[in-house]
Structure 1
Amino acid sequence: MPVMRAVGMRLARNIPAVDPRQMPLLRSNATLNERYARALADAGIHAVWVHDDLSEGIEPRDLVSPAVRERSARAVTKAMEGARQAVAGGQRLSPEALGELHKVVDDIAESVAQHPGASVVLDDLAAADAYTHQHSIDVCALGLLLGRELFGTSGWQDDRGRRRFDDVDRRLHLLGLGLLVHDVGKMRIPLAILNKPGRLTDEEMAVMRSHPDEGADMLSGDGYSPLVRAVVREHHERWDGGGYPNGLSGRHIHQLGRIAAVADVYDAVTSERPYHPARPPYRGVEVILDDAGAAFDPEVVQVFRRVVHPYPIGSELRLPDGEVGVVARVDPDHPDCPWVRFPAGERPVDTEVELAAA
């Protein structure tokens, strides 16, 4: 629910601090007053989960459980501090600096495996300054979900394009590790460029677009798998060759990089950033589907369509006439027609028809 509309309501979830090692800003069941609501909005938190009559009994299905997210955020923050120190010292990043992230990948993979349905709920309660580590966790989780589904149904592709079903767990682990550090190269990008709210100049854009190569270079020492470097270097490459840093296209992009591209863009679109507000999940799904075969591997997009629903359980849905409801159920075979609970009762909403005027 929009944070200013939630004044006077009890929170249904903790509001995490910018530094995940600190106590939450507000705890679940706390009543949100106007002062706190404005402070959250100023920090870049524009939506919160609340207890209300309409959503009573509706439990969002988190792709990453709150406990796993909290542990993961602490470990990612620690690893990124190590990366900053390496950059400051002009060094590459040692594998030991990322040691704890292997456990993070295992925890996230287990959480994804226990995910009971396909309504992906990524974190939307993080302050703007906490975006980096939450983005890494969410991209990792979504990428692992896509990888599990793709490798489980179609196998993975080796260098000769052959489909294989062996060694899946190891590849998924390396995919997850690469996704957790996919933006590590941004440590070498000036903050003035990283956090610039307006449009970047051509020169600034060239610097920004160097971060995948910078990240791969930071992980170029002994002890890093080439698969991890492929994720880091190629997550901004595009199926049609319009990406960067090397303009690769089609199957010249590593399969793990193609998975990373979809996960990265979806989370970026649905997250609050200095240069754009967070867009709702259904808009994020539209972006991915619209670019199938252009920016994104069509096969990965097919998998994405199966596992990421545009109207997650627990999300708010507003009809063109102003009626507001909460998504209560989603039929995997008909994700565009969720069951929505309104004050007058629960009914299916054909979003292609009823939201056409929105």
Structure 2
Amino acid sequence: MPEKLVSVIIPVYNIKEYFKDCIESVINQTYRDIEIILVDDGASDGSEVMCDDYAAKDERIRVIHKKNGGLVSAWSAGVKEATGHYVMFIDGDDWVDTDMVESLLEFAKPNEGVTEIISSNYIIEKKNEKRKASNGMPVGTYSGAELREVRTKLLGEENRPVIMSRCMKLITRDLILNNMKYLNYDIRMAEDVNIMLPCLLDVDRLVIHDGFFYHYRTIGTSMAHGYDERLLDNIRQDYDTFSGIMKDKGVSNGKEQMDREYVRLLFFVMKNLLRADIPGVTGRVREIFDTEPIRGIIKNTPVTVSEKSNKLLYFGMKHPIAPVVLLIKMIIRSFDRVTAGAFL
């Protein structure tokens, strides 16, 4: 297949109910000269058949059928098979506006020999709610000294300067390929940071776009949206993996960024526990948050918290005694019934 300018990579795993919205939004892009790579990650609900059906109708589509290996395994398989100068990732249960590729390409410079990330914003699509989420940095183009400054605060901030998802972006394919050596395939939370962190530390040119083209569908099955006893272990893996990347890339304040990031990730652990119907929750909270090294990291790494519910969680993390934990649990469960559980 001749090289294209943009390869759109869509991991597909048991999302038959949502897949049509996704693929139709891609095949109807106003910029037509794209290749579309569907990575069937061992689907068994009929979405794997839909992949082949769409490929039979559109010559731009290629399908990779593979054994189930998880999301990182799926998208990375797509990158290895892609021919585009840029890659764009869209998860199979999400969808995009039909002018997304064309709009982001307006800011690309494929002939200048530099690596690029062109990042837009996104819309969180819940069953009864829509909410916009934006990059924390002002719209514009960053390189040189400005980009080096951005790299000192990629992680650990209350509002990330750059959205760390691999989606809603155009990314130079070689930038991804050159950093896939850092992938930890066991990570199941913040796995996109695993690839975007090294890419952002290497990229020559970063463009922050003001568009909201990407629609992120929340369906309540990710680790961040339901109780999972593996969450703390995954966060520890995040800390070790991302710290290693920071060290390898020579980030001068890498440890400070990672300690703050660890504290912020622990918010998910606290929230995860307090929302769950599990016995002995107060003892489990104390076991985690009143034990080293977590107790010391929380004490010695202050973070800024402005959102009211997160202030409650933070107070509980710093004071993990039964009366405090039970009161916060009651408040959060009550708040969840009103807001359908949107905290972090």
TM-score over 0.5 for the pair: no
- Between structures 1 and 2, the one with greater strand share: 2
Give TM-score scaled by structure 1 length. Answer: 0.25
